[in-house]
Amino acid sequence: MRGSGEKLVRIALVGNPNSGKSTIFNQLTGLRQKTGNFPGVTVDIKEGRLRFPGGREAMLTDLPGTYSLYPTSSDEKIVAAVLANRLDTHFPDAVIYVADATHLEKHLLLLTQLLDLDLPVLLALNMSDTAAEIGIRVNTTKLAERLGIPVVAISGRTGENISKLISETEKLISGNSDRAHKRFYPLSDVEKHVTEAVCLNLGLKNQYQGLLVAHHHGWLPFLSAQHRSTIEAIVHDKDFASLRAQVDETLDRYDRFTPIVQDAVQHPPQFPSTPTDRIDAVVTHRVFGPLLFFVVMLLVFQSIYDWSTVPMDLIESFFSNLNIWLKALLPAHWLTDLLTDGILAGLAGILVFIPQIAILFLLVTILEEIGYMARVVFMFDKTMRRFGMNGRSVVSLISGGACAVPAIMSSRTIGNWQERLITTMVTPFISCSARLPVYAVLIGLAVPAKRVFGIFSLQSLTFGSMYALGVLAALASGFVMKKILRSRELSYLAIELPVYRMPHWKNLWLTVWEKVLAFVIGAGKIILIISIVLWALARFGPGKAMELAAEKARLEAARQHLPEKAAADLHAAYQLEASYAGYLGKVIEPAIRPLGYDWKIGIALIASFAAREVFVGTMSTIYSIGSSEDDVALRQKMKSATFDDTGAPVYTLATALSLLVFYALAMQCMSTLAVVKRETNSWKWPLAQFAYMSVLAYLLAWVVYNLFQNSAHL
């Protein structure tokens, strides 16, 4: 992506996870950045324009964090694939390597590998202010001399020396920087023979690049089948043991750069007990740590509810008023209905999620910035691996209690593709806020307001059991998927616990903006299309069915002498029954009858695919209730409903509990499916998710119905 005919120097920002690389990227590019996907994968790529004082510009690419060019996750493979292929679109002309000055030795392995690729490299020592505070002194001049590259001490948090970093980068790409680094790692005899043969066959000039291709030829995406087979023959012929060679190389590199670090970095005689150490004694405690986490997540969860209510109500109110205004302004026509009830309703369904997404990512990013989320991953990693996930999955699952849309987006922090996929697939099982209106109506309808032991009401216990059912379904599904999705990708926890520090607010707001924009653009267009389709199903019917339904409603309203509002509700109910949505409800009635449902519930199931909470509004329309908020009137209508053929009551205890279970487990949220499609970059996974969640919901709802069908009628 060199830009519209303009040749830009491409600079890669490379570093270990938790090195502060993203903060530096935001410091250097500000709002002059965009986010996309690497071709063929769902790993994000962030690019931005870096402007130099002399007026020149460069394209800065923020490559995913990795510990070395011997990857263990999909994110790390991206870095290795880009740097092993000089023809790659994202292959850099120069590299800014970001390292944590407080743990410099751990960060030099990847740096020395970059040096052997013969790339112009600048070392940015991030968190230098924190290092100075704890008594670490880095002699940047000596470090630069020993490594043969420019070294700049910076602070991404405060912005210290960022201007110097930009100036030194400009010198680097202009060729005015003193750069005299030599090959860091001497190849063994076997490695030399292998790389010579690989370079000869692929036309490569850099030996270390040839070595990387030899190590990773089995999965590198740019290799043709012929080249892959040729390299396989070379590796076999030279008796090249890749894993052993990687271990030997890593140990050799450490032996070579450890003395450099010891010579250039001065540590305090004895590390004092820092505030981070004292906080970690509580935060990572085996007992208090998890308890504190659940308290923190409860506060996050409650904040999402409390803080999002007002802006969500304002958004809904705005679109409702706009809808009324347009209907009064425009002539009565199906195009007007398309605009108001289709397009505007779809836009409202997209934008109403923005407060929840923004608040969730604001709070989670704050926790990440201060260093707390790394501790959460550390604490829960072992437990979550039993269910095919990892420590980072905990955040997504708990966030799903507010809304699955931002929760699934937050799973991007999971490096292992299999674990991220499982987290994405099971998060919608967690009961979200959209299920609450459905629970409120059905529990009030089905469960008597009695108390157990005079303390707990049956209704609150039923409500809690729906959440418990979702959690159990998520964990059980994760366990099963772990057995089915066999991955060759290794998974283990390799994470640094950074020092606690104040958030970098600019980085925080840019992150929130990026996540919100990604949802609106990526998932929004899918939500809008499905909204229009659902509107069409409810607006039109076969033949003259809609006209006949309107006439029937008019005659019935006149016979009963109904007021204007009640007549309008009756008209809407008859037309919904006559529409394609109503037709589909009757078509699927034989399939849902074993669950105790009639065709009216079938319409609600179809309509609430847009969003689960639509169930209440749809039932209000079907039963001609003036307001979807009038739960009491709705329950009374539902209690008196009977099957058309048998006259038996529809809403028995068994039916209501069956519906509760169905809505607790079924995938009925197009927003979630749209986000899953965006995150997995394929329709395969959201369709599979919809299928297995629907089947599981159907089967368990059938079991519940049959268990309770002999109970007394409501």
Q: Is 111:97 a contact under the CB 8 Å cutoff?
A: yes
| pTM, to two decimals | 0.65
User: Considering only CA atoms, which of 126, 14, 1, 2 is closest in space to residue 79?
Assistant: 14
When mean pLDDT is compared across 302-311, 317-326, 423-432, 536-545, the lowest value belongs to 302-311
Position 34 confidence tier, pLDDT thresholds 50, 70, 90: low
> What residue spans define the domains of the chain?
9-174, 189-266, 288-432+440-517, 527-708
CATH number of 9-174: 3.40.50.300
Position 308 confidence tier, pLDDT thresholds 50, 70, 90: confident
Q: 394-418 burial, b for 16+ CB within 10 Å, e for fewer?
A: bbbbbbbbbbbbbbbbbbbbbbbbb
CB-based contacts of 455, cutoff 8 Å, min separation 6: none
Position 407 confidence tier, pLDDT thresholds 50, 70, 90: confident
User: Considering only CA atoms, which of 99, 422, 447, 121 is closest in space to residue 264?
Assistant: 99
SS (H, E, C) 319-369: HHHHHHHHHHHCCCCHHHHHHHHHHHHHHHHHHCCHHHHHHHHHHHHHHHH
242's tokens: 């890749």
Mean pLDDT of the region 417-439: 83
Task: Name the DSSP class of 498.
Answer: P
Most confident of 21-35, 202-216, 421-435, 616-630: 202-216
* Residue position matching structure tokens 């849902």: 592
Bridge partners of 12? 61, 95
E-state strands within 333-478: 451-452, 456-457
At 41 the pLDDT is: 45
When mean pLDDT is compared across 24-38, 54-68, 235-249, 657-671, the lowest value belongs to 24-38
Cα distance between residue 383 and residue 290, in whole Å: 12
Cα distance between residue 415 and residue 73, in whole Å: 6
Name residue 662's amino acid.
F
At 456 the pLDDT is: 65
Percentage of the chain lying above the pLDDT 90 cut:
25
Q: Is 76:64 a contact under the CB 8 Å cutoff?
A: yes
Q: In this predicted model, what pLDDT tens digit does every residue of 166-199 receive, in sequence order?
A: 999 998 888 766 556 678 899 999 999 999 999 9
Cα distance between residue 216 and residue 258, in whole Å: 27
At 632 the pLDDT is: 54
At 291 the pLDDT is: 87
Position 530 confidence tier, pLDDT thresholds 50, 70, 90: low
pLDDT at 337 over 80: no
Give the DSSP letter string of 24-66: HHHHHHTTSEEEEE-TTS--EEEEEEEE-TTS-EEEEEEPPP-
Cα distance between residue 44 and residue 209, in whole Å: 24
Q: In this predicted model, what pLDDT tens digit does every residue of 670-693 receive, in sequence order?
A: 788 888 988 888 899 999 999 999
Q: In this predicted model, what pLDDT tens digit does every residue of 441-493 receive, in sequence order?
A: 787 777 777 776 666 677 777 877 888 899 899 999 999 998 888 765 555 55
At 109 the pLDDT is: 93
Mean pLDDT of the region 509-529: 72
At 594 the pLDDT is: 92
Pairing of strands 456-457, 451-452: antiparallel
Give the DSSP letter string of 108-172: HHHHHHHHHTT--EEEEEETHHHHHHTT-EE-HHHHHHHHTS-EEE-BTTTTBTHHHHHHHHHHH
Structure-model confidence comparison of residues 226 and 345, the more confident one? 226
Q: Is 461:473 a contact under the CB 8 Å cutoff?
A: no
User: Considering only CA atoms, which of 180, 115, 185, 177 is closest in space to residue 152?
Assistant: 177
Position 301 confidence tier, pLDDT thresholds 50, 70, 90: low
Q: In this predicted model, what pLDDT tens digit does every residue of 606-629 receive, in sequence order?
A: 777 766 766 766 666 566 444 444
SS (H, E, C) 501-523: CCCCHHHHHHHHHHHHHHHHHHH
At 432 the pLDDT is: 77
Q: In this predicted model, what pLDDT tens digit does every residue of 97-152 receive, in sequence order?
A: 999 988 888 899 999 999 999 999 999 999 888 888 878 899 999 999 999 899 99
Pairing of strands 265-266, 456-457: unpaired
End-to-end CA distance of the chain: 65
Q: Is 21:121 a contact under the CB 8 Å cutoff?
A: no
Mean pLDDT of the region 526-533: 69
Position 271 confidence tier, pLDDT thresholds 50, 70, 90: low
Cα distance between residue 204 and residue 531, in whole Å: 52
User: Taking all residues of the chain, what is their mean pLDDT, rounded to a whole number?
Assistant: 81
At 610 the pLDDT is: 67
